[in-house]
Chains A and B, each alone.
Chain A
């Protein structure tokens, strides 16, 4: 017998454990965290169960279907347009009232709903009592209890999904909005139905209610309809703000009337989370603790990594020596030794840093502290023309700019979001670290740590100044209101953090094996041809390229070799180090490379400083450019980000180099 198909969508408020449930159901390992907005795109997976092939789609979390932000629109459009067989709403049992608000809207959409009550353990530990049978009866929809983190209740859930699919009986009921509003809903429905070509996937009652609430997204969907004018006439006749308030009131009222029968809540006792917050967001301690945590994360990233880095370095040096002594002909030894091991090895040395960085970020995320960081920083962020929520993408940017820019999706306001996307590339990501470590380590000895820290600060400063400038010029306006849930603290699971670390760290290794490998081979070829020239000399192709751009780079203190490295670094910033490794032909070993740089490279302490600043700021890597295009949906902004970055980088590097020379360095 052929497997029968069922399509289910997971929806629910942010941070209720949808992705944890998704992972438990499908065996995937999507990233979960403890702040609202971890899942910014829908993800799909499959599970085979009792002869059924079930497709599970994990939607971004939403508080409602009012399409206030982009992830809400993703979720809403999916439910309406793809018509999943069953919409599973994951409900946080410890936060029932607000979670049920979304339920009322899902019911209005006419979806086939199944409620999964998650985090019952948290609610019950707190002393709440949940009456599930009563809940099923009052909501007229099946309710299943799960503890997704412990994979409890999954079979019950899947059994229920199949049962509900086969029964095909419609559950759920609608909310009445009182005579006046109901009349208007009817009026609008009557007009809408006359349009034969209307999109029939959208229930009439739902469209009418949305219009009364002033939903511009829905308005946009009927703007070409012949009845649009008549619908608008009805909308214009009402006090729309009042209706909006009234409709929300009625929904919560409906919840309030049934809520006490489904759940008795313990008296508001002080939870552990409250006690932690008394310290972490304390008036006097909050900021020092925040700074200490950031500094600590930075320190750990370096301190823990050093022994591992030395080991990798040693292995690469050995491999490189082995290759040059045992491979023939010479050109092949050069390709493998100077090119591949030299280039890729120089990048792989930094794998330990990247792993630790992502592990720490994941701990911060999983604990719920990131939401507090936004809460603590909002006032400062507001002052520089940004939104508190922009702080989370900026912090993630220290790991990698690509997911950071995607995380900006949880920012509702388009302008706030755009500014965040444009400034995240100035946040120094893990890939830029190798450049600092190499040059600061080579030229600044014991002060290397301070120099590297200064680079991070420079990135942050440029990001802040850019935000301010953008706000005053092309993206005018004030940051949108800050309305954010502060979720209870949770102990981050080691497994989640390790998975997060591994997945992101592995991406870095994969990059070293693919795009960076290809990059170094290309550089090796360009450095070795035309045939017969001395490797990496001025007569080679890289020499010509380097010389072509040298006049532009000279005022910054860069010779042609550095210029070439920077050009290749556009593909991925790690390549700057890799190609310097290739061009100086040091085999591998950052030690050997350091010695070469010190000996006869023409790079000085001052020009290395200028180089670090330039590498930090100039155009984002190809992957980041790609995600900027995708997220802004605009070539204009993408090109702006590139040009702006290059110009800023040039100016700062110029100031550093020429300023330093004036001061006599």
Chain B
């Protein structure tokens, strides 16, 4: 269980799935991420990076959501 806290969303590779464990993003983005379904236990999959490498496109709750690496780095996951 030790490695759970170390894995963050930005390390996911295209096609890999994970379950969100904790959102450490601060400020108004925090609530926005919750609104968009980024809550603990939600399943998330990386679809692709944008052509310039950032932001990323994820699938969550059956739809596609884009966020930057900067936020993804503060979202903790457990790979599935």
Q: Do A and B come from one complex?
A: yes
Residues in A lying within 8 Å of B, measured CB to CB: 63-64, 66, 68, 94-98, 101, 213-214, 241, 244-245, 248-249, 252-253, 265, 268, 274, 277, 281-287, 375-376, 378-380, 382, 388, 412-413, 480-488
A388 to B70, CA, bound (A): 14
Known: A483-B33, A486-B57. A249 touches B39 (CB 8 A): yes
Flag if B35 contacts A248 (CB, 8 Å).
Answer: yes
A656 to B50, CA, bound (A): 38
Known: A96-B62, A101-B37. A376 touches B31 (CB 8 A): no
Partner of B32 from the list A281, A282, A412 (CB cut-off 8 Å) is A412
Q: Hey, which chain A residues are within 8 Å of B40, CB to CB?
A: 245, 249
> In chain A, what residue has the closest Cβ to B33?
A483
Write the nearest CB–CB distance from A30 to chain B, whole angstroms: 24
> In chain A, what residue has the closest Cβ to B29?
A481
A174 to B36, CA, bound (A): 20
Q: Hey, which chain B residues are within 8 Å of A274, CB to CB?
A: 47
A617 to B50, CA, bound (A): 32
A485 to B35, CA, bound (A): 12
A253 to B61, CA, bound (A): 12
Q: For the complex, is B71 an interface residue (Cβ under 8 Å from A)?
A: yes
A96 to B37, CA, bound (A): 12
Flag if B50 contacts A68 (CB, 8 Å).
Answer: no
B 47-78 to A, binary, CB cutoff 8 A, 1 in contact else 0: 11111111101010111111110110000000
> In chain B, what residue has the closest Cβ to A274?
B47
Flag if A376 contacts B36 (CB, 8 Å).
Answer: no
Write the nearest CB–CB distance from A464 to chain B, whole angstroms: 16
Q: Hey, which chain A residues are within 8 Å of B34, CB to CB?
A: 244-245, 248
Known: A98-B37, A245-B40. A378 touches B54 (CB 8 A): yes
Write the nearest CB–CB distance from A388 to chain B, whole angstroms: 7
A284 to B66, CA, bound (A): 19
B residues contacting the other copy or chain, number (CB 8 A): 38
A349 to B10, CA, bound (A): 53
Write the nearest CB–CB distance from A94 to chain B, whole angstroms: 8
> In chain B, what residue has the closest Cβ to A479?
B68
Which of A241, A284, A412: most chain B CB closer than 10 A?
A: A241
Partner of B66 from the list A249, A286, A287, A484 (CB cut-off 8 Å) is A484
Write the nearest CB–CB distance from A509 to chain B, whole angstroms: 39
Majority SS at the chain B contact face: mixed
B 23-43 to A, binary, CB cutoff 8 A, 1 in contact else 0: 101101111111111011110
B 4-36 contacts with A by CB, 8 A: 23, 25-26, 28-36
Partner of B39 from the list A214, A252, A286, A486 (CB cut-off 8 Å) is A252
A379 to B68, CA, bound (A): 9
Write the nearest CB–CB distance from A238 to chain B, whole angstroms: 16
Flag if B37 contacts A252 (CB, 8 Å).
Answer: yes
A482 to B25, CA, bound (A): 13
Known: A63-B35, A252-B42. A268 touches B59 (CB 8 A): yes
Flag if B50 contacts A249 (CB, 8 Å).
Answer: no
Flag if B50 contacts A376 (CB, 8 Å).
Answer: yes
Write the nearest CB–CB distance from B30 to chain A, whole angstroms: 7
Closest 10 A/B residue pairs (Cβ)? A286-B51, A248-B34, A64-B35, A379-B52, A481-B29, A486-B64, A97-B61, A63-B35, A95-B63, A252-B39
A sample of 7 cross-chain residue pairs with beta-carbon separation below 8 angstroms, ordered by A number, consists of: A274-B47, A375-B57, A376-B52, A378-B54, A378-B66, A482-B55, A488-B64
With A375-B55, A382-B68, A481-B68 given, name 16 new contacts (CB 8 A). Answer: A66-B31, A66-B35, A95-B62, A96-B62, A97-B61, A101-B35, A101-B37, A213-B31, A248-B31, A249-B41, A253-B41, A283-B48, A379-B53, A480-B28, A481-B29, A482-B68
Flag if B51 contacts A284 (CB, 8 Å).
Answer: yes
Which of B31, B35, B59: most chain A CB closer than 10 A?
A: B35
Q: Hey, which chain A residues are within 8 Å of B66, CB to CB?
A: 375, 378, 482-486
Flag if B28 contacts A412 (CB, 8 Å).
Answer: yes
Q: Hey, which chain A residues are within 8 Å of B55, CB to CB?
A: 375, 378-379, 388, 482
Known: A245-B39, A281-B48, A281-B51. A484 touches B31 (CB 8 A): no
Write the nearest CB–CB distance from A15 to chain B, whole angstroms: 10
Which of A98, A268, A380, A382: most chain B CB closer than 10 A?
A: A98
Q: Hey, which chain B residues are within 8 Å of A284, CB to CB?
A: 51
Flag if B52 contacts A287 (CB, 8 Å).
Answer: yes
A277 to B58, CA, bound (A): 13
Write the nearest CB–CB distance from A296 to chain B, whole angstroms: 18
> In chain A, what residue has the closest Cβ to B49?
A283
A375 to B65, CA, bound (A): 10
Write the nearest CB–CB distance from A107 to chain B, whole angstroms: 16
Flag if A245 contacts B37 (CB, 8 Å).
Answer: no
Write the nearest CB–CB distance from B52 to chain A, whole angstroms: 4
A277 to B50, CA, bound (A): 11
Flag if A244 contacts B32 (CB, 8 Å).
Answer: no
A281 to B66, CA, bound (A): 12
